[in-house]
Structure 1
Amino acid sequence: MYEAAGACEDVSSDFADAVRAGLSQPQKIIPARYFYDEAGSILFESITRLPEYYPTRTETAILTEHAGAIAALVGPGRAVIEYGSGSSAKTPLLLTPLQAAAYVPVDISGEFLGQSAAALGALFPALPILPVVADFTQRFRLPAGVAGLPRLGFFPGSTLGNLAPMAAIDLLRGFAALLGPGSWLVIGLDLAPGSGKSVATLEAAYDDAAGVTAAFNLNQLTRINRELGGTVRIADFAHRAVWNAALGRIEMHLVAVQDTAFTAAGETFSLVAGETIHTENSYKWTLPESRLMARASGWVPTTAWTDSDQRFAVHLWQHDAGAMQP
Structure 2
Amino acid sequence: MSRFSLATSLLLAGLLALTGACSARDSQSGTHDPYERLNNFNKTVQAEVQAVAHAGDPEALHWVEPGAGVGLSCVDGRSDDDVLGSPGGDAGELLLLMAAAEQEGEAIDVAEVPALIDAWVETFGGFYMHTDSHALARLGQSLAADPRLAAALPRPLEPAALEAWLRSPPPELHEAVLAHIVDPNAVGCGHLASVLRAPEDYELRPELAGAVIMGFYRRLWRSPDDMRFVVLQGEHHEKAILDIEVAPGVDTEAVGDSAVPMIEPHGHNEQVFVVHPQAVAAFRARAVDLLVERHGKLDGEALATRVDALGKRQLQATLTHLHVDLPTIQVVVDEHHARSIKPL
Query: TM above 0.5, one fold?
Result: no
Instruction: Report the structure, 1 or 2, having the larger helix content.
Output: 2
Instruction: Report the structure, 1 or 2, having the larger strand content.
Output: 1
By relative contact order (CA 8 Å, sep 6+), the higher-ranking structure is 2
